[in-house]
Amino acid sequence: MGLIRSKEGNLRRSVVLMIDEEDREDFLEFFERAASGLDYSYRLDEKGKLVIDIFGDKSSQRFAERKIRNAYRNFYIMKDRKMGLRRYPVEVIAELAAGVSIGLVEKSIKLKGRKLERRKDVLITDLEPDEITDMINELRYSLDEIRPFVKQKMVREVLVLASFISGVNVVDMMEKAIDLGLIEEVNGIYYLRKNPDEIIRMLVGGD
């Protein structure tokens, strides 16, 4: 792909993508999130193809082109639905989840009783994109709420999982766990007194 110089003197590289008209709005919304930090503009050519112009030096343009083509690939991976299941590239979930570990997302899906399979760098689940987003936002809110009280990641995530499954506020869940002797504080540090899965089961089921 050749380079041309814009009127301002910057090098410009163009990437042309075939996007179905019915997908265009959703793709652009997804692309703009994925392309955060890139120097680009986009337009439609006379044939309705999406043309993305990227600016900068050759190195930054190569990086931007990889990111654009990766976003294109990921968009259509997630759009494809087979037998009631969707595929989500782990890198997309990681970007969306920023601050919420992929492990916590996977455990939350499983504990909710939803289908989940991981194949290398792709999560396969029956959750729709808006359900994934809502779940991650809920997990992030609980993590932010409990973080001032509990510094240990494992303890935080156990409490957040129990809160997510039960619908009980995460701070209330922490107090319940302390009352039941499932976690304890020693010199300002919280420790789990049982296996994490057992603690979650006891907090959620009340056994």
> Domain end: 79, 97, 127, which one?
79
Instruction: Examine the domain organization and report whether 73 and 122 are in the same domain.
Output: no
Residue numbers of the domain that contains 27:
4-79
96-152 per-position pLDDT tens digit: 888 899 999 999 999 999 999 998 889 999 999 889 999 999 999 999 999 999 989
Bigger pLDDT: 79 or 103? 103
The pLDDT assigned to 165 comes to 95
Instruction: Examine the domain organization and report whether 100 and 195 are in the same domain.
Output: yes
The pLDDT assigned to 7 comes to 41
Cβ-based neighbours of 42, under 8 Å, separated by 6 or more? 28, 50, 51, 52, 53
Task: Report pTM.
Answer: 0.78
Instruction: Examine the domain organization and report whether 127 and 195 are in the same domain.
Output: yes
Cβ-based neighbours of 28, under 8 Å, separated by 6 or more? 42
Across 2-11, 70-79, 103-112, 169-178, least confident range: 2-11
The pLDDT assigned to 10 comes to 55
Instruction: Examine the domain organization and report whether 99 and 198 are in the same domain.
Output: yes
Instruction: Examine the domain organization and report whether 98 and 190 are in the same domain.
Output: yes
Instruction: Examine the domain organization and report whether 71 and 17 are in the same domain.
Output: yes
Assess whether pLDDT exceeds 50 at residue 2. no
> Domain end: 52, 79, 106, which one?
79
What is the average pLDDT value for the chain, to the nearest integer? 88
The pLDDT assigned to 1 comes to 42
Instruction: Examine the domain organization and report whether 74 and 102 are in the same domain.
Output: no
Residue 67: give its domain's CATH number: 3.30.70
Assess whether pLDDT exceeds 50 at residue 5. no
Instruction: Examine the domain organization and report whether 18 and 108 are in the same domain.
Output: no
Segment (H or E) for 130 = helix 129-146
| Number of domains the chain contains | 2
Instruction: Examine the domain organization and report whether 72 and 89 are in the same domain.
Output: no
Question: CA-to-CA distance for 45 and 33, rounded, in angstroms?
Answer: 23
Instruction: Examine the domain organization and report whether 183 and 169 are in the same domain.
Output: yes
> Domain end: 23, 57, 79, which one?
79
Alpha carbon of 82 to those of 9, 129, 135: distances in Å? 47, 14, 22
Instruction: Examine the domain organization and report whether 86 and 39 are in the same domain.
Output: no
Bigger pLDDT: 96 or 193? 193
The pLDDT assigned to 4 comes to 40
Instruction: Examine the domain organization and report whether 22 and 99 are in the same domain.
Output: no
Token pair, residue 185, equals 């504080």
